[in-house]
């Protein structure tokens, strides 16, 4: 089922398109103006938009131009009763998926919608696969004993259906391990659904996990599937499980025991086949002692324990990873590859890396951009701060430039932490998604 936004000033067309698409199993939202469409996309995420060119107020081409400047823009099918070659060409240049003339052929509409959704899904799968492959390569680079052990544990655990509890510090690669376990399992063709338990307010976590019926609570304007249901047949990744409340822990435990649940406000019992992988940076045994975590849930989750080693325990892997990041950055940007001096390598190796691989990657990327020469020396590296800006450059920054640099790097860090997901990043930062989009555009950040 896809979420489709329909924007047209003619009520009959909105109704007809909505009906035929909902008959195909999709969920539709209708708008009668460009302003309303822009507001809807700012509030919600859509898989596809159908947009009339001739609208009162902001016209369709202006709406399309605004949407294509957004990181969250869905594919757009443009329709018009005043279609001409110039309009079609302009819409295509602005990024429209296709252009359909009125009167609409409903068969062609359905065919175009199907093709657009399939193409979008394929692009997302390719993007996710590339990101996962790069991330896995980053995680397992090195020859240290801890990383060899981790590689062996992943390959042993992946083929089974057993639950896995991944522990490790922030930035060490727990989500990468979870995604790799899924990709190497027999469930690889099914969904991988992730939930950051720390980023969802307590009053919404139950609905997020189990779904809800329409009218179950204030704001439940329609029926919604939860993460367990969406992951049926695949893998559910419960990240930061140590931050889940005791009340929610009890309900998750019941689902793990019975593989059944009910949506919030619902009576129907739903059965699912889900492999659960959980992760935490907390000591759950200590949390049990403190009364913050249920021991029965811990033993249900901890069938196969995997500990991701911190970067500081991996010895010379730090240098190997740093050189890999320099090669990758040079290849991505087409710029000459910088080298690490022996003193610089020694400084990187002895630093404790509280942010682990994520912190190292960010530091190397910034040094590759900001160090003017072709060799990075020890005095260029300023660790223990977020900016890692070389001193000779930092002295030339105004206060506003330094503040902007900090904000940009902080947003980049959090965006990477949530795998490029803008909605989750906005929640973690405590800002509206639309405001974060503006920041991303202003800083030229692409997901």
CATH of the domain at 32: 3.40.50.2300
Residue after which a domain boundary falls, among 256, 291, 309: 309
What's the pLDDT score for residue 173?
86
Dihedral of alpha carbons 105, 106, 108, 113, sign = positive
Which element (helix H / strand E) includes 51? strand 48-52
The pair of three-digit structure tokens given for residue 158, joined into one six-digit string: 């992946």
User: Cβ(49)–Cβ(4) under 8 Å?
Assistant: yes
Higher model confidence: residue 134 or residue 335? 335
Mean pLDDT, the chain, rounded, equals 84
Does position 411 have pLDDT exceeding 90, yes or no?
no
Is the peptide bond between 103 and the residue preceding it cis, with omega within 30 degrees of 0? yes
What's the pLDDT score for residue 166?
97
Per-residue pLDDT, averaged over 325-351, amounts to 89
Does position 129 have pLDDT exceeding 80, yes or no?
no
What's the pLDDT score for residue 394?
46
One domain for residues 274 and 342: no
Does position 360 have pLDDT exceeding 60, yes or no?
yes
What's the pLDDT score for residue 391?
44
Q: pLDDT tens digit string along 421-432?
A: 787 788 777 787
One domain for residues 154 and 288: yes
One domain for residues 268 and 322: no
Length in residues, the chain? 447
One domain for residues 52 and 188: no
Asked whether residue 296 is domain-assigned, the answer is: yes
The CATH number covering residue 212 comes to: 3.40.50.300
One domain for residues 32 and 179: no
Q: 14 pLDDT band (50/70/90 cuts)? A: very high
Q: 401 pLDDT band (50/70/90 cuts)? A: low
Q: Which of 72-76, 301-305, 398-402 has the lowest mean pLDDT?
A: 398-402
- Distance from C-alpha of 317 to C-alpha of 349, rounded to nearest angstrom: 8
One domain for residues 164 and 296: yes
Highest mean pLDDT among 132-136, 342-346, 352-356, 380-384: 342-346
What's the pLDDT score for residue 128?
58
Q: pLDDT tens digit string along 258-270?
A: 889 888 888 888 9
One domain for residues 68 and 156: no
Domain count, the chain: 3
One domain for residues 189 and 259: yes
- Distance from C-alpha of 277 to C-alpha of 348, rounded to nearest angstrom: 33
One domain for residues 299 and 317: no
Range of the domain at 110: 3-121
Q: pLDDT tens digit string along 76-94?
A: 999 987 656 677 778 888 8
- Distance from C-alpha of 132 to C-alpha of 126, rounded to nearest angstrom: 10
Asked whether residue 127 is domain-assigned, the answer is: no
- Distance from C-alpha of 76 to C-alpha of 182, rounded to nearest angstrom: 32
Q: pLDDT tens digit string along 276-335?
A: 999 999 999 999 999 999 999 999 999 999 999 999 899 899 999 999 899 988 887 888
Residue after which a domain boundary falls, among 279, 309, 339: 309
One domain for residues 199 and 263: yes
Higher model confidence: residue 290 or residue 217? 290
Q: pLDDT tens digit string along 167-214?
A: 998 888 898 899 999 989 999 989 999 998 888 877 788 888 998 877
- pTM reported for the whole predicted model: 0.57
The pair of three-digit structure tokens given for residue 343, joined into one six-digit string: 């003193």
Residue after which a domain boundary falls, among 287, 309, 331: 309
Q: What is the Cβ-side half-sphere exposure of residue 280, based on CA atoms within 13 angstroms? A: 19
What's the pLDDT score for residue 235?
96
Per-residue pLDDT, averaged over 64-77, amounts to 75
DSSP characters over 378-415: GGG--TTSS----HHHHTT--HHHHHHHHHHHHHHHHH
Helix axes 85-93, 60-68, angle to 10 degrees: 20
SS3 per-residue string spanning 235-302: EEEEECHHHCCHHHHHHHHHHHHHCEECCECCCCCEECCCEEEEEECCCHHHHHHCCCCCHHHHHHHC
What's the pLDDT score for residue 376?
94
Q: 384 pLDDT band (50/70/90 cuts)? A: low
């Amino acid at each position: 089922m896809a979420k489709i936004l329909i924007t047209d000033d003619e009520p009959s067309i909105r109704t007809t398109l909505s009906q035929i698409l909902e008959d195909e199993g999709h969920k539709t939202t209708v708008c009668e103006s460009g302003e309303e469409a822009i507001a809807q996309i700012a509030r919600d995420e859509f898989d596809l938009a159908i947009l009339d060119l001739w609208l009162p107020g902001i016209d369709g081409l202006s709406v399309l131009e605004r949407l294509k400047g957004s990181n969250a823009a869905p594919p757009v099918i443009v329709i018009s009763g005043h279609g001409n070659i110039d309009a079609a060409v302009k819409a295509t240049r602005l990024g429209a998926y296709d252009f359909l003339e009125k009167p609409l052929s409903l068969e062609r509409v359905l065919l175009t919608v199907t093709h657009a959704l399939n193409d979008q899904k394929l692009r997302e799968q390719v993007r996710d696969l590339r990101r996962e492959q790069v991330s896995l390569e980053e995680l397992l680079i090195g020859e240290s004993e801890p990383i060899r052990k981790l590689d062996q544990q992943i390959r042993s655990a992946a083929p089974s259906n057993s639950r896995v509890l991944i522990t490790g510090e922030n930035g060490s690669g727990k989500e990468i391990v979870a995604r790799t376990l899924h990709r190497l399992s027999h469930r690889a063709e099914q969904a991988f659904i992730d939930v950051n338990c720390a980023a969802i307010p307590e009053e919404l976590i139950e609905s997020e996990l189990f779904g809800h019926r329409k009218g179950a609570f204030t704001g439940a304007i329609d029926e919604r599937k939860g993460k367990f249901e969406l992951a049926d047949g695949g893998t559910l990744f419960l990240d930061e499980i140590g931050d889940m409340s005791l009340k929610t822990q009890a309900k998750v435990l019941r689902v793990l025991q019975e593989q059944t649940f009910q949506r919030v406000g619902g009576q129907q019992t739903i059965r699912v086949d889900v492999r659960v992988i959980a992760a935490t940076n907390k000591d759950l045994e200590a949390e049990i002692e403190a009364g913050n975590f249920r021991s029965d849930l811990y033993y249900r989750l901890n069938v196969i324990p995997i500990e991701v080693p911190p970067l500081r325990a991996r010895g010379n892997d730090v240098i190997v990873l740093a050189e890999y990041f320099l090669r990758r950055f040079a290849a991505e940007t087409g710029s000459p590859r910088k080298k690490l001096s022996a003193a610089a390598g020694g400084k990187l190796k002895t630093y404790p890396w509280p942010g682990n691989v994520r912190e190292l990657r960010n530091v190397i990327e910034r040094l590759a951009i900001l160090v003017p020469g072709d060799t990075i020396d020890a005095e260029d590296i300023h660790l223990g701060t977020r900016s890692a800006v070389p001193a000779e450059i930092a002295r030339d920054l105004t206060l506003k430039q330094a503040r902007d640099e900090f904000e940009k790097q902080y947003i980049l860090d959090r965006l990477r932490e949530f795998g490029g997901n803008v909605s989750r990043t906005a929640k973690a930062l405590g800002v509206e998604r639309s405001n974060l989009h503006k920041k991303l555009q202003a800083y030229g950040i692409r997901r």
